Amino acid sequence: MAVTESLRGGTSEPAGVRSVHEGILRRQSARESAARTYARALPIVPVRARGLTIEGADGRRYLDCLSGAGTLALGHNHPVVLEAIRKVLDSGAPLHVLDLATPVKDAFITELFHTLPPGLAGHARVQFCGPAGTDAVEAAFKLVRAATGRTGILAFSGAYHGMTAGALEASGGAYDVRVARLPYPQDYRCPFGVGGERGAELAARWTESVLDDPKSGVPRPAGMILEPVQGEGGVIPAPDGWMRRMRQITADRSIPLIADEVQTGVGRTGSFWAVEHSGVTPDVMVLSKAIGGSLPLAVIVYRDDLDAWQPGAHAGTFRGNQLAMAAGTATLAYVRENRLAERAAELGSRMLSQLRGLAGEFACIGDVRGRGLMIGVEVVEPETDRERAEEPPANLPGIDRTGSGPGLELLAALELEGDRDAPHQAEGAATAQGTDRHPRPAAPELAVAVQRECLRRGLIVELGGRHSSVVRLLPPLTISDEQADAVLDRLADAVDAVSRDRTAGHPTRRPIPQHRRSDDRADWAG
């Protein structure tokens, strides 16, 4: 494709350049931990970057839709970020100041508070914690435990909050007595088999039942943590009505609500903070990634009456990164002044509808969902489509239909009630609507193949989701229409290549509608 070729460095790089690149990769695999992650799926050696584009040591150029796992709201090396960093360096200001006050920090807090949901901005406190998202999650748990005198945390299936002990406990793969796990609403793989409003309502009632049943095994918790859109969990936007229910349920029971906006913040989902879609004001917000303008920075922002901490209750050496604060101030201001959240909403919904067109064409795309420029394409096994459609409804995970626990009572009550008091619709959330359809099995190997084919075409994408089968797009909010077209163009080509490869002999590509022939890509990429 013309656009792909023009951006690709091609294979004609000199042998010396290639061997530098290969040598670095060889030494990396010999010397770095087996725990390295992105480096395994993306064997590239970035040497230069600007905006959406990364250039590798081998001279190849890539469109980067990983964006530092959603960190780079303005893409790589945005001029306003570079200027802010240079200004601090040239001013002679100290770079390391623990948690002392500085003009750079003062400006950052002013800009941050400027962006906060109005219900929080007027009486907010900010705590600078260690520099990663996971540090802010730990700080949030510690804060609500100190404020409430309770220990337990409510978290959701599929959640991801980080890799330090407390954050890991609250993430979906863990088991811990201090964390009670609740169902997160989702349409495509709804734990109740219904999706949509009904699935969200069942999830909310399960939460209420766990909290109000004295024998649920879950004591009154110190806080509830949720992601307004689950990112690592597979790009699952929470319905706005469900968000409001969680706010009501927690407020009624004096449980602080913690919104983890590490990945969803700073315009990514189409509003400055993702909680704004539902109008929910959380008690604590966990912020990192984009707030540091590409440098490490994490904070919690919380209602001042939760500030029960004693001096030194949550200390640490690296809490005053002046360069990150300056880069962060520039980023927050740029996103706000240039209305990049609105831009993310508008471009995101266009990309989603174009991707849905693609899903209609390839049987290996099971679902397309997202909000703003946080987009997921779930890759599934194409072969079992027909068999799956004929299977009886699955039993509800987590609910024992043979026993007499609260789950069964809840189900019976809901079956009797029918749709009498369905919750608010998930306004604006661009998920597929809930249906009775049965999701096809996740296809992590196919997803890896799609990621690899994308890379061959000069496109960097992330994989996520419960089964690592969701291709994730997190482009910078500054991406142009033409670049978005090039991204979708390459992704479509990659899916096509994988589908052909997988099925050599019996195609899984659905018949292409008359108006959308493969030789007329501009039709959908436009």
Give the residues lining the site for ligand PMP (CB under 6 A): 69, 132-134, 137, 160-162, 227, 231-232, 260, 262-263, 288
Q: Phi and psi for 460 in degrees, rounded to 5?
A: -100, 120
The SS3 assignment for 480 reads coil
Least distance (Å) between residue 415 CB and ligand PMP: 34
Burial of 443: CB neighbours in 10 Å, binned 0-12, 13-18, 19+: buried
| Angle of helix 444-456 versus helix 481-503 axis, rounded to 10 | 130
Q: State how far the Cα of 325 lies from the Cα of 102, in Å rounded to an integer.
A: 10
- Give the residue nearest to ligand PMP (CB): 133
Strands (E), 129-184: 153-156, 179-182
Comparing CB distances to ligand PMP, the nearer of 9 and 296 is 296
Q: State how far the Cα of 55 lies from the Cα of 42, in Å rounded to an integer.
A: 13
Comparing CB distances to ligand PMP, the nearer of 297 and 443 is 297
Q: Which residues pair with 460 in a beta bridge?
A: 64
Comparing CB distances to ligand PMP, the nearer of 133 and 196 is 133
Least distance (Å) between residue 288 CB and ligand PMP: 5
Least distance (Å) between residue 37 CB and ligand PMP: 10
Q: State how far the Cα of 48 lies from the Cα of 201, in Å rounded to an integer.
A: 48
Comparing CB distances to ligand PMP, the nearer of 57 and 235 is 235
Q: State how far the Cα of 76 lies from the Cα of 258, in Å rounded to an integer.
A: 30
Least distance (Å) between residue 212 CB and ligand PMP: 28
Give the distance from CA 385 to its chain's centroid.
Answer: 28
Least distance (Å) between residue 235 CB and ligand PMP: 11
Q: Are 132 and 158 in contact (CB under 8 A)?
A: no
Least distance (Å) between residue 394 CB and ligand PMP: 28
**In angstroms, what CA-CA distances link 136 with 173, 223, 312, 455?**
20, 14, 16, 33
CB atoms within 10 A of CB 493: 19
Q: How many residues does the chain have?
A: 526
As given in the structure block, the two tokens for residue 9 are 């460095």
Comparing CB distances to ligand PMP, the nearer of 134 and 207 is 134
Burial of 425: CB neighbours in 10 Å, binned 0-12, 13-18, 19+: middle
Q: Are 227 and 159 in contact (CB under 8 A)?
A: yes
Q: Phi and psi for 55 in degrees, rounded to 5?
A: -110, 130
Comparing CB distances to ligand PMP, the nearer of 194 and 473 is 473
Q: State how far the Cα of 50 lies from the Cα of 42, in Å rounded to an integer.
A: 18
Least distance (Å) between residue 295 CB and ligand PMP: 12
DSSP label at 395? Answer: P
CB atoms within 10 A of CB 247: 20
Comparing CB distances to ligand PMP, the nearer of 227 and 381 is 227
Comparing CB distances to ligand PMP, the nearer of 199 and 231 is 231
Least distance (Å) between residue 169 CB and ligand PMP: 13
Give the distance from CA 96 to its chain's centroid.
Answer: 31
Least distance (Å) between residue 289 CB and ligand PMP: 7
Torsion of CA 87, 78, 272, 116, to 10 degrees: -10
**In angstroms, what CA-CA distances link 11 with 16, 20, 53, 441?**
13, 15, 18, 37
Comparing CB distances to ligand PMP, the nearer of 262 and 365 is 262
Least distance (Å) between residue 181 CB and ligand PMP: 16
Q: Which residues pair with 46 in a beta bridge?
A: 56
Comparing CB distances to ligand PMP, the nearer of 298 and 399 is 298
Comparing CB distances to ligand PMP, the nearer of 231 and 239 is 231
Least distance (Å) between residue 479 CB and ligand PMP: 20
Comparing CB distances to ligand PMP, the nearer of 194 and 274 is 274
Least distance (Å) between residue 171 CB and ligand PMP: 8
Give the distance from CA 188 to its chain's centroid.
Answer: 17
